[in-house]
Structure 1
């Protein structure tokens, strides 16, 4: 029987395990709090499933790091969540939240897997991808059943094979052509993620203790609203519907369910996820005006994200990720 050489963790393997631990330890806090307030039994089952997935991920990573004699990250824990806090969200918000988190997980795991070579780590992340596919399917079916799923706009079916004849297909100013299916889909996706970010900003701004963090979060809300307006205009200008706000899924509670550290990390996590979405959208946009707008908005949220990282650094909240050896000294 062939025996596999047990190599040490590569930079990709260690970094992605570390990042996954951070994200899932945060999710354990978030889903545990959600479960204290969820009312609908179907939504409760979904929340329980999401919580179990995050707990399994954290436990598996702890085992791997222990075997490899790697320091286990601090991440987030009981000190970062107040399970007795009043309800800050409605059941409808929970479904939108899980949908967007599952979408982010699918993109992350599919992107990192090609760089994973050790068999046990490949198996772990393959399992992460599979469980997230199943979670996404479950939340999508439930949102359809509850009548709150927001599908991308429909476009006409192709009746024949056609070829691009003019450069105005790329240079919008020369032809103002209709949006492609991918461009419509990406605009829809980026509106949804910004609407979720806006709702989270509304909630978090009500409960954070730090005035500096509150101002930062409200600035993020303003950016989300502006970006939604830009993307919505593209759809409306081509008689296509755009998703609407979900701010009404946030209650008026002012009792903090999470620590400022967790809130800051969560908000920055969504900011950097948005950067990835915009980068992907640029690569799939064949209209020059659309690519330019994505690039402009991406620059804005990059600056915003940097300011958020500085808040975490100044408060001692930013845990240092695995680093390459410092050779120069």
Structure 2
């Protein structure tokens, strides 16, 4: 029987490891910077745990790739991509919310990664990652609740009995009286708003500390898009007299000192855009009101254009690291014929 070391990593397994290396080296830079400024001992403690886990992940991925004889990605480093001694850019409540949203997104990513992994040691590794992230998620939401920093999603009045949809009017939304939102739609809108509020606050901070005008203008455009999406979601909830998550943009200080590299900030914004697209797509797939479905489609197209322009900017400046790619057989054959 072959051992794991003799079985080559599949493309999905390599993609997961490569992507995680990028995000974990990014997280390490952010966590190291955060720990220089966080005053709240509870938030300090959970960030120290998060940093230790992240460093373990980076080491494990390095070992997997070394055994595969795959070059270790560049990712992000404390030397090139963060000044941990820069003045404070974010307030303590923001740091706690940041970790909550990142663990929330990490759980989604790890669930997908486990489902696409075949080799037993890779499956075991990602199951461990999911367990660690779930514990961090639980700690972060517990702290947010205890400190009064978490906006609970809307609560619904229980119906008298179960019911079934009897009219196609359940699907309408453009003309006439719109039916109230159902629990599934409320949940998706609430959590998409919650994550978009974090993304908007990040862009506020990045606008202040960006080096190049191109990156700064890209972040300004992204902030406008995020705020527009938030207002749309708010208006949909308000129509049914439902509460919305609150903004975190006031949790940004007035620092303009060099804090992160433009490469780091562009990657962070690209990542948040890609994640928003995936969550919007998931919400669209279970949404039953036509007007909201049309809104999700329109917002996704806007995010797709923004992400494409971001990728073009990163390529132009040499900031976009190329993922593992299939061999170009045509080029190999052409090179062989020319020898």
> Which range, TM-score by smaller chain?
over 0.9
Query: 1:104 is paired with a residue of what secondary structure?
Result: helix
1:61 alignment counterpart: 61
Pick one of 240, 247, 258 that aligns with 2:242.
240
Root mean square deviation of aligned Cα: 1.2
Whole-Å separation in 1 of the counterparts to 2:200 and 2:258: 18
Whole-Å separation in 2 of the counterparts to 1:58 and 1:174: 55
1:308 to partner: Cα distance: 0.5
Q: For the Cα contact (< 8 Å) 1:12–1:115, is it kept in 2?
A: yes
Query: 1:142 is paired with a residue of what secondary structure?
Result: helix
Map 1:47-86; keep pairs closer than 5 Å: 47-78=47-78, 79-86=80-87
Query: 2:330 is paired with a residue of what secondary structure?
Result: coil
Q: For the Cα contact (< 8 Å) 2:153–2:190, is it kept in 1?
A: yes
1:94 alignment counterpart: 95
Q: For the Cα contact (< 8 Å) 2:151–2:246, is it kept in 1?
A: no
Q: For the Cα contact (< 8 Å) 1:169–1:175, is it kept in 2?
A: no
1:246 to partner: Cα distance: 1.0
What is the total number of aligned residue pairs between the two structures?
Answer: 328
1:111 to partner: Cα distance: 1.6
Question: Does structure 1 residue 183 correspond to structure 2 residue 170?
Answer: no
Alignment gaps of 5+ in structure 2: 332-339
2:225 alignment counterpart: 223
Relative to the length of structure 1, the TM-score reads: 0.97
Deviations 1:67-105, CA, capped at 9 Å, x for gaps: 111110010012211011000000000011001101110
1:151 to partner: Cα distance: 1.4
Q: For the Cα contact (< 8 Å) 1:168–1:175, is it kept in 2?
A: no
1:24 alignment counterpart: 24
1:212 alignment counterpart: 214
Q: For the Cα contact (< 8 Å) 1:168–1:174, is it kept in 2?
A: no
Q: For the Cα contact (< 8 Å) 1:171–1:288, is it kept in 2?
A: yes
Query: 2:181 is paired with a residue of what secondary structure?
Result: coil
Whole-Å separation in 2 of the counterparts to 1:316 and 1:77: 16
Q: For the Cα contact (< 8 Å) 2:201–2:248, is it kept in 1?
A: yes
1:175 to partner: Cα distance: 4.8
Query: 2:36 is paired with a residue of what secondary structure?
Result: helix
Map 1:1-329; keep pairs closer than 5 Å: 4=3, 6-78=6-78, 79-172=80-173, 173=175, 175-329=177-331
Q: For the Cα contact (< 8 Å) 1:35–1:44, is it kept in 2?
A: yes
Relative to the length of structure 2, the TM-score reads: 0.95
- Superposition misfits of 4+ residues, deviation over 4 angstroms: 2-5
